[in-house]
Amino acid sequence: MITGKLAVSGPAIPEFEGVPMPIVIPFGIYPLTRGRHSGFLPPTFEQNSGYGLGFNGLGYYKVINDYWDVTTRANIYSYGGYMISVNPNYYKRYKYRGSLNLQYQFTKILNTSGISRDEYTKSTTVHIGWSHSMDSKARPGVSFSANVNAGSTKYNSYLTNNLQNIQNQMSSSITWAKTWDEGKYNLSLAANHNQNNNTHLINVQLPTANFSMATVNPFQKKEQVGKPKWYENLGISYNGTLMNQFSFYDTAFSASQLKDTMLWGAQHQIPITLTLPALGPLLFTPSISYSQNWYSRKMDRHWNEDSLVIDTTISRGFFAAQQMSFGISMNTRIFGTVNFKKGKIKAIRHEIRPTISLSYQPDMNGQNYQTLQTDTSTRRMRVSKFEGNIVGAFGEGSFGGINFGLDNILQMKKVNDKDTTGDPENATKKVNLIDGLSINTSYNMIADTLKWSPVSISMRTALFDNKMNVNASMTIDQYEYDRGVRVNKLLWKEGKIGSITSGNISMSTSFSSKKADNRSDQQRIEPDPNMPYDQQQRQLQYVRDNPAEFVDFNIPWNLQASFALGFYRTLAPDYNSYIHQVTSSLNLNGDFSLTPKWKAGGSIYFDVGSQEVRMLSLFLTREMHCWQMSINVSPIGRFKSFSIILNPKSGILRDLKINRSRSFYN
C-alpha cells in the first residue's frame, strides 16, 4: 500500500452474509487519493427485444484542469443502433458552474408489429442540454442563467425510460439580467424555446427584452420633516416587454417558413397608484393605468358565400392598440369567532377579507374588432383583428362597474391531546380548516347587455395535520349560450347558479411510518458539493430510474399519492360547437419492508379517464450488509423491462456490479 495514493491486493473471494461465493477476484487496485481522476467508465449490459444486446454507459472521464472535465459515454446495440453523449462540465468557485450535454442517437429497432415491411425502424435524433448558473457574488447586480432542453421531437420516444416516453414537451430559457440604483431599474434579455413532440411544432422566442422601473414617488421630499402629505404617496411605475417569435416544424424546416411565421410585439404598462390614510378599518387606494400594445400583423376575416368557409387576409406592418382605466379600491378585514364551552373544539374563527373596487375603462378598441359570420345561418360574433399575435388583444367595449372580491380563512382551536407539559399555552392548538376560499366577479353598470362577468372560485387547504394538500378552482358563467355565443339571459332566473366552463381539483398526500431506530440525520451521507454538475444529475437520474437501490431500510413503509381532475370547455374551430375535455389521473408510489432485510415497492400512473395504466414499475431489494441486491420490473409502458442488479454499497466499488437486464419494446 502506498499511503494516500494506492492499495493493491492479491486474490480475493467475495462473501455475502459470511458465505463465500464461487467467484475469485484475481487482484485488486484501489485508488486512495482524493479528488477527481481520469479513467474509463464501465458499462452495464442489457438485452432488449427492440435494440438487441447492448452495452450502456461505456465511456471515459477526462479531467482537463481544475475548472473543466469531460465525460464521454456511448450506448452500443447489436442491431446497429448507438448513442454518443459528450458532457463537458465547468466550475469556478464564487464565479459560475455549468454543464453541457450533447447527444447523437441512431436508433435501429426491430419491427415486431407486422405493420411495416421493413425489418428495422431507423431514426436519427439529437439532443442538447445546457445548465449554467452564476454566483451572486461574482458580479453584484448582474445575473446570467441557462436551462436548455432541446432536440429532435422524436428523441424522448426512442429512450428506454418509461417516464420520458410520455413527456411531450421540451422547453429552454437563457436569461441575462441587470439591476441599477438598488433595484429601482431592471433589465432582462432572454431567449426561450418550447416544442411539442406530438405535433412536431417548435416555437422560439428570440429575443425577449423586459425593462421595468420600480414605483417612484415624484412628490416625496428627499429629507422628510414632520408628517408626510397625502400626495407624497403618489407612485408611478413602468413595465415594458418586447418579444419576437418564429415557429417551424422539424419535419419540414425551411427559411421561408421562418419568415412567414415570424411575429413580434411589445407591451407597455404605466400604473399610477395613491395610498390614502386609513379611515378606521378601511383602506382606500385610487389608481390609473395606461397600457399600449404593438403588433406586427392584423387579420381581416369574412364569410365566403361561394365556398361556405371563412376567408382570412393577413396584413403585416406596425399596428398599435391602447387601453386606459381609472379606479379606486377599498379593502378591510372582518373577524367572527364562535366559542364552545364543552367538547374538544374550543373555538372557530372566520376571517373575511372583502375587496370592492370601482373602475371605469373607456372603449378604445372597438375599431379593432369586426362582426364575423361563422356559418350559413344569421349568427354573428365579434372577433379581434389582432388574434394570433404574440401579444394578446385588448377587449372591446367600455366598462364602468364594480369588482367584487371575497377571501375567506377558517380556523379552529382544539384541545391539544399530545400536550404533556401542563402549560396553558400548549393546552390548545390552532388548526387551519380552509387556508383560502376566494370568490371574484364584476358588474358592468354601463353595458347594454351581459353586465355580469364569470365568477371565479378557488380554494386551498391542508387537511389531517397538513398531511393532505387540496387545491381546487372553477369558473362559472351566469349566462346561457347559443352555439358558442353568450345570450343575455341569466341562468339565475331559472334557479341555476350558472354553467361551469372550467374547473380542476388536485390532492396530494404522503404517509410514512416512524423510523425503526433512533439514527440521527447527521448519520446520513451528504452530497459532495464539489461533484461536477453532470455527475450530480446523472446520479439523480439513476436514483429515479433505480429506486430499489436507494431505499431507506430504517423506515418500514411510506406512501405518496396524488390525484388530479380537470374539466375544460373550449369553442370549436368552426365556432358552432364546444369541445369538452375531462382529464383525471392518479399517481401512487411507495415501499414497505417485508422483513428487516427485504423491501418491496413501486410506482403507478393511472389515467382514470381512459381507464388505463400508463406506467407501472415494481422493485424488490435485499440489504446484504456491504452489498445490496435489487430486482426491478416494468411490466407496463412503451418499454417493458426486467433487471437484477447486485452491487456493493461502497462508492469506490459501486461500478463493480453484476447487472442482468431484459427490455421489451412495444
Model pLDDT for residues 567-602, shown as the tens digit of each residue: 988 777 666 677 888 889 999 988 888 887 888 888
Report percent pLDDT > 70 for the chain: 85
Q: How confident is the model at residue 205 (pLDDT cuts 50, 70, 90)?
A: very high
d(CA 266, CA 348): 50
Q: What's the chain's average pLDDT?
A: 83
d(CA 269, CA 265): 14
d(CA 383, CA 597): 67
Q: 606 to each of 127, 596, 654, how far by Cα in Å?
A: 29, 30, 34
418: left (phi over 0), alpha (psi -120 to 50) or beta: alpha
d(CA 538, CA 531): 11
d(CA 638, CA 164): 10
Among candidates 164, 157, 149, which has minimal Cα distance to 202? 149
Among candidates 25, 30, 39, which has minimal Cα distance to 652? 30
Whether the pLDDT of residue 325 is over 90: the answer is: yes
pLDDT of residue 481: 80
Residues 259-301 pLDDT 10s = 888 999 999 999 999 888 878 888 888 999 999 999 999 999 9
- Comparing 192 with 43, which gets the higher pLDDT? 192
Residues 119-131 pLDDT 10s = 888 889 899 999 9
207 in Cβ contact with 190 (< 8 Å): yes
Q: Which residues pair with 618 in a beta bridge?
A: 602, 633
d(CA 226, CA 231): 14
Among candidates 43, 99, 44, 45, which has minimal Cα distance to 68? 99
pTM above 0.85, yes or no: no
| Omega before residue 596 within 30° of 0, cis | no
Residues 63-90 pLDDT 10s = 999 899 999 999 998 999 999 999 999 9
d(CA 263, CA 332): 44
